[in-house]
Structure 1
Amino acid sequence: MHSSTTTGFFDITTEQGLLRTSIAVTLFIACIGIAFGLASGSFSIVFDGVYSLVDASMSGLSLMVVRLITSHASSLQMSRKLRERFTMGFWHLEPMVLALNGILLSGVAIYALINAVSSLLEGGRHLEFGIAMVYAALTVTACVTIAVIEGKANRKLRSDFVAMDVKGWVMSASITAALLIAFCFGYAVQGTSLEWVSPYIDPAVLALVCLVIVPLPMSVVRQALADIFLVTPGDLKQHVDVVAQAFVERHDLQSYRAYVAKVGRSREIELYFIVPPQMAAKTIEQWDAWRNEIGEAIGGEGPNRWLTVVFTGDPEWAE
């Protein structure tokens, strides 16, 4: 019983299970990274550990938001008080967390870059390349493995949180791979005429890695900010316009107004149809049949689609 529960907790076929697995592996890598970094005297390894800790904390926050979104959508495990306070759901938290995640990761990299440049100007630092190489090899293997597992699973899940997490693992693998190459070079030049470059290897590689990392989360941050500010996605608006215009022509209505937004994984659509004053009265069943027709034409029905369809004879209600 205990084994099946543990398996379910880290079920890599679910969004929450993947995030839990990622958090566990990240915390492990972070702890050994900081320990190995202090033991070898490498600030770049310490940075790698701190970067992993920030990533793990944001994955934990992402997991909390995922639980809130899925619980509200399925009406399961959600307290009545919480549901009454957030009647519109928790979709709006997703882009906030994604933006915070990207900004924090870039911020950590900027801070490390400043420290790396400062270390270079001070003459670099000496470190134990053997210990550093062992850490780098183990970490690259772990990062690549978890990135591949999450990437394959997310082909079906299509989760923004998991996608961001995969990017984080790819970045971590790239960072550590660069460190491994540098440490191997540093180890190889010991006792040679190039040994003088040894103190500069750690801060120089860290600076280069940070320059690569800083802009990487920006595309996610940009999309998250667009969701926060309810920027209308062009492709979804175009699709809704085509469906609404065809509906107006098919049923001889006057016109329509469409309001579309993407908030995290949700698609929020409001449609107002202007009905001619001379149109004959309809029953509730007939109006609902029209709403069903619109919903089927738009598609994407599910817990993450918020569709409102209004029929009115007064254009002011649609503005």
Structure 2
Amino acid sequence: MWNEQGFLRISIAATIVIAALGIIFGILSGSFSIAFDGVYSLADAAMTGLALSVSSLIVKSAQRDALSRRVHNRFTMGFWHLEPIVLMLNGCVLMTVAVYALINAIISILNGGHELRFGIAIAYSATTMLICVVMAIIGIRLNRKLKSDFISLDIKAWIMSGGISFALLIAFLIGFAVQPTPVAWVANYMDPIVLALVCLVMIPLPIGTVWKALTEVLLIAPVELKDHVDHVASETVRRLGFLSYRAYVARVGRATQIELYFIVPEGLPAKTVEEWDALRDEIGAAIGDESANRWLTIAFTADAEWAE
């Protein structure tokens, strides 16, 4: 069974193959939409490679060998913050490529379209659609277990690429069929029209990923996580007779960051370090999700300024 890095490597290799085929077949067939498919795949391969690098850094930071210790000494806060940055950049790049292609498609339509070698175009579309379907199915099955945002975005990219290939295939078949008919002039418009329609569908697809990544970059507190931490903290305050608490939460990529400060009464009877640690363990267990991706800080103080 592949892990996250293994799937991303295979995905990069397959994407590069499709990109090369798209550019070559786009030139041979005279199709802007096929050439766009190749350029789009090339951009997607570059972004997937960046995602793979970040994923490897995150995994390496959780290891305990000599190399990971040296890396951790330079990046003591980990690499989680890079994940939403890469996801946001990925989505923005793909949307930008699609917007540019849409503009070119509109210009081509206004200029009367262009002739196309439909046989080459049909062969390319069928081949790439098959590759996209296989990669999407593999990714979906794998991500049921891994639940990786990187793989999830890559699956969307494969589905989008497959949708492009399917739309191109249908359009090219229609263009090929109308060539010997009185409406043969329609064939000249098939390539730019289908490119424009595909771009209109593709442009909004990464918006959800970009927005989610932006909220993580801006450290906007997830409502459900904040409510859960508030509930645990307020119950602790009530049960132990503390004065109040301050909670700071964020979700950055696969990491959950939580800081809890409890304001205790002045003159509270002294506790041993072991007793405070036991209380932290109890609160941490109540919060849950204990893993290498949870960054939890719990502090106790009689001075509220330390918690602000």
Question: Given the two structures, how large is their TM-score scaled by the length of structure 1?
Answer: 0.95
Deviations 1:17-48 (A, max 9, x none): 11011101111111111111111110100000
- Residue 207 (structure 2) aligns with: 218
Q: Distance in 1 between matches of 2:245 and 2:152?
A: 36
- Residue 240 (structure 1) aligns with: 229
Give the conservation status (yes or no) of the 8 Å contact 2:25–2:120. Answer: yes
Give the conservation status (yes or no) of the 8 Å contact 1:74–1:303. Answer: no
1:196 aligns with 2:185: yes
Aligned partner letter, 1:97? V
Q: Post-superposition shift, 1:79?
A: 5.0
Q: Post-superposition shift, 1:80?
A: 4.6
Aligned partner letter, 1:223? K
Q: Distance in 1 between matches of 2:239 and 2:56?
A: 42
Aligned partner letter, 1:32? L
Q: Distance in 2 between matches of 1:40 and 1:214?
A: 25
Q: Post-superposition shift, 1:270?
A: 0.0
- Residue 306 (structure 1) aligns with: 295
1:52-63 maps to which residues of 2 (within 5 A)?
52-63=41-52
Q: Distance in 2 between matches of 1:228 and 1:312?
A: 30
1:228 aligns with 2:217: yes
1:69 aligns with 2:69: no
Percent of residue pairs identical:
58
Q: Post-superposition shift, 1:81?
A: 4.4
- Residue 257 (structure 2) aligns with: 268
CA RMSD across the alignment = 1.1
Question: Given the two structures, how large is their TM-score scaled by the length of structure 2?
Answer: 0.98
- Residue 279 (structure 1) aligns with: 268
Give the conservation status (yes or no) of the 8 Å contact 2:61–2:71. Answer: no
Aligned partner letter, 2:79? F
Q: Post-superposition shift, 1:251?
A: 1.4
Q: Post-superposition shift, 1:76?
A: 4.1
Give the conservation status (yes or no) of the 8 Å contact 1:227–1:263. Answer: yes
Where does the alignment leave 5 or more consecutive residues of structure 2 unmatched?
Answer: none
Aligned partner letter, 2:33? S
Q: Distance in 2 between matches of 1:75 and 1:106?
A: 39
Aligned partner letter, 1:306? W
3-state SS of 1:140 partner: helix
Q: Distance in 1 between matches of 2:158 and 2:192?
A: 22
3-state SS of 1:307 partner: strand
Q: Post-superposition shift, 1:78?
A: 3.4
Give the conservation status (yes or no) of the 8 Å contact 1:258–1:270. Answer: yes
3-state SS of 1:317 partner: helix
Cα distance change on mapping 1:206 and 1:241 into 2, 3 Å: same
Deviations 1:147-194 (A, max 9, x none): 011011101101100000000001001111000000000011111011
Give the conservation status (yes or no) of the 8 Å contact 2:132–2:159. Answer: yes
Q: Distance in 1 between matches of 2:23 and 2:63?
A: 41
1:133 aligns with 2:122: yes
- Residue 82 (structure 1) aligns with: 71
Q: Distance in 1 between matches of 2:2 and 2:285?
A: 29
Q: Post-superposition shift, 1:278?
A: 2.9
Cα distance change on mapping 1:76 and 1:53 into 2, 3 Å: farther
Q: 1:146 aligns with which of 132, 135, 151?
A: 135
Give the conservation status (yes or no) of the 8 Å contact 2:245–2:262. Answer: yes
1:184 aligns with 2:173: yes
Give the conservation status (yes or no) of the 8 Å contact 1:259–1:271. Answer: yes
Moved over 4 A (4+): none
- Residue 105 (structure 1) aligns with: 94
- Residue 8 (structure 1) aligns with: none
Deviations 1:180-216 (A, max 9, x none): 0000000111110111111110001001110111111
The size of the alignment, in residue pairs, is 308
